[in-house]
């Protein structure tokens, strides 16, 4: 069977479909009847159930002609599983920055393991991958249904998080000491790369330990994921900040409401919030270069906007305009990410200087809600999404699958090899329908001389 659903085109994101690996690794043949069989489940799936990698008019035509098309394995419970639930121990670790919905995923994994499969031992690893390293002296957290009963009501992660690499050899040492059969890693691109190294070390030792990744990044920049959890909540919170900026801009003559949102390399939050509100006049993202000075630069257009309307709203992603900081020393965080120049404060200063040089009065109301956006509990849509991700991660793990990520793709939950997930970073494409919607909502011109 081939699942064909959500007739969308992801050609913009997948430029070279042939480079994507689709086959999922297995620890062995699953020959244990699933406990779910006793619960009268009717939604079991098989490995031959697939979801097309590309769902477009072209691929549908090819499918009707019987051509072989690349596809992902459909997620869901299997009739037979690999791990004996009575003997299985699992571990959950959260890495990287905070994001709405992490606790929801943790809760979903724990409840599915306990109530769905009867697994009674689940460890929560404290403060990211460093929790595996004895040098830090971090005790594990015993996770059970009572322990996770209300954690979804709070932002952040009950396990704590951290950045920075840890030796995969020592991580696998810890997994062996704890007799862990399944490791769930919740994180972004860096976490996935670390997970792949952990898998390599597990295979080198010939161990039977499953590693299942759940994509977490507020920036929505993970490849081969339609949307990451927490993104809807982040856009909702960004919209609230933009509404405040718009109100402030209307409240004073020649006033600019300036909002900086998260988005190091991808401007999805800024763009989605702009489309949702349609009160934004300029949306600046990392993927689209812009100039400040010159006839076609932002400052000249902003000057004309204020003369015509008396107010303006600018939304800028944190990674936009980094060319303006090229002459400054660049530091890196523990994960190796370059610390960005503060484009929000820079724009505020340049706007004030520009109008002061022309002896024109202007006000700038600057709002940076970044830490509020990433620290709040998930909204209803994200919470539901997190629950589904956690459940499908458990189904995959118990079936003995490994070295994979659970993803939402073409409106279906699927299994994607980690090697494919870390091929690229998902970014807004300037020639996409999505970005065209931003331009239509703002009316902003091409800000390049």
Could you list the active site residues?
219
Q: Where do the H-state alpha helices sit in 32-167? A: 57-64, 102-111
CB 155 within 8 A of CB 377: yes
Q: Identify the residue whose tokens are 């479909």.
A: 17
Q: Quick one: which H or E segment has residue 414? A: strand 412-417
* 54 in Cβ contact with 68 (< 8 Å): no
Query: What is the number of other CB atoms lying within 10 angstroms of the CB of residue 408?
Result: 21
C-beta of residue 192 within 8 angstroms of C-beta of residue 425: no
Question: What is the rounded CA–CA span in Å between residue 211 and residue 205?
Answer: 15
- Minimal CA–CA distance to 189: which of 143, 227, 142, 222? 222
Q: What are the angstrom distances between the C-alpha of 157 and each of 105, 378, 397?
A: 10, 12, 22
363-367 vs 255-261, strand pairing mode: parallel
- Cα–Cα distance for residue pair 261/237, rounded to 1 Å: 10
DSSP letter string, 278-316? ---SEEE-TTS---SSSTTSHHHHHHHHHHHHSEEEEEE
Contacts of 206 (CB under 8 A, 6+ apart): none
Distance CA 218, CA 161 (A): 15
Cα 22 to Cα 418: distance, rounded to the nearest angstrom: 10
**265 contacts 400 by C-beta, under 8 angstroms:** no
Give CA–CA dist 253/311, Å, rounded: 7
Helix, strand and coil in the chain, % to nearest 5:
40, 20, 45
Distances (CA, A) of 292 to 137, 350, 354: 50, 9, 10
Report d(CA 419, CA 422) in Å as an integer. Answer: 6
332 three-class SS? strand
């Amino acid at each position: 069977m081939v699942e064909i659903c959500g007739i969308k085109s992801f050609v913009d994101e997948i430029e070279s479909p042939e480079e994507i690996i689709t086959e999922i690794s297995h620890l062995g043949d699953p020959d244990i009847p699933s406990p779910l069989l006793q619960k009268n489940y009717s939604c079991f799936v098989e490995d031959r159930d697939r979801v097309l990698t590309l769902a477009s008019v072209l691929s549908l035509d090819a499918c009707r002609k019987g051509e072989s098309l690349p596809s992902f394995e459909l997620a869901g419970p299997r009739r037979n599983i690999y791990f004996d639930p009575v003997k299985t121990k699992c571990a959950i670790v959260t890495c990287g920055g905070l994001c709405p919905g992490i606790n929801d995923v943790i809760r979903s994994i724990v409840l599915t393991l306990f109530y769905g499969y009867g697994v009674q031992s689940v460890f929560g690893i404290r403060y990211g991958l460093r929790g595996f390293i004895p040098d830090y002296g971090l005790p594990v957290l015993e996770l059970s249904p009572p322990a996770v009963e209300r954690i979804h009501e709070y932002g952040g992660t009950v396990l704590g998080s951290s950045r920075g690499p840890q030796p995969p050899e020592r991580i696998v040492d810890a997994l062996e000491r704890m007799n862990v059969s399944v490791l769930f890693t919740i994180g972004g691109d860096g976490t996935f790369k670390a997970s792949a190294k952990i898998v390599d070390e597990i295979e080198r030792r010939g161990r039977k330990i499953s590693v299942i990744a759940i994509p977490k990044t507020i920036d929505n920049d993970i490849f081969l994921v339609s949307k990451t959890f927490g993104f809807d909540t982040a856009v909702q919170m960004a919209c609230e900040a933009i509404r405040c900026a718009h109100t402030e801009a209307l409240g004073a003559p020649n006033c600019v409401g300036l909002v900086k949102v998260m988005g190091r390399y991808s401007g999805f939050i800024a763009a989605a919030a702009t489309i949702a509100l349609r009160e934004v006049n300029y949306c600046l993202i990392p993927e689209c270069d812009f100039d400040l000075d010159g006839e076609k630069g932002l400052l000249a257009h902003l000057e004309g906007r204020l003369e015509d309307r008396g107010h303006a709203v600018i939304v800028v992603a944190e990674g936009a305009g980094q060319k303006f900081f090229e002459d400054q020393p660049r530091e890196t965080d523990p994960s190796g990410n370059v610390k960005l120049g503060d484009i929000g404060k820079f724009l505020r200063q340049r706007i004030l200087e520009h109008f002061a040089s022309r002896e024109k009065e202007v006000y700038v109301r600057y709002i940076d809600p970044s830490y509020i956006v990433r620290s709040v509990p998930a909204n209803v849509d994200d919470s539901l999404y997190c629950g589904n991700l956690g459940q499908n991660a458990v189904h995959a793990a118990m079936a003995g699958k490994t070295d994979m990520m659970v993803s939402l793709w073409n409106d279906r939950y699927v299994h994607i090899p980690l090697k494919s997930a870390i091929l690229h970073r998902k970014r807004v494409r300037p020639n996409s329908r999505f970005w065209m919607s931003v331009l239509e909502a703002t009316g902003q011109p091409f800000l390049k001389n």
